[in-house]
Amino acid sequence: MSNDMRIVQLEVLTTHQEKTIAELSEQIAEQWKVIDKMQRKLDALTGRFLALEDQSAPDVPITKPPHW
């Protein structure tokens, strides 16, 4: 195998790897967008849940049980 042929093969391999890396980078960027969106929804739902919990549970004073 000549050096020229080996260099061409390495260039082809490098090109394929660059394409793969670019595709993976795009996928990761899209996944981060989805994760951020889900995190915002989770935060909003947590806030709503805590607000509803505060509204529905009256404050019960802490007292000793009757048998004490």
Contacts of 46 by beta carbon, 8 Å cutoff, 6+ apart: none
Residue 1, SS3?
coil
Spans of the chain, pLDDT less than 50: none
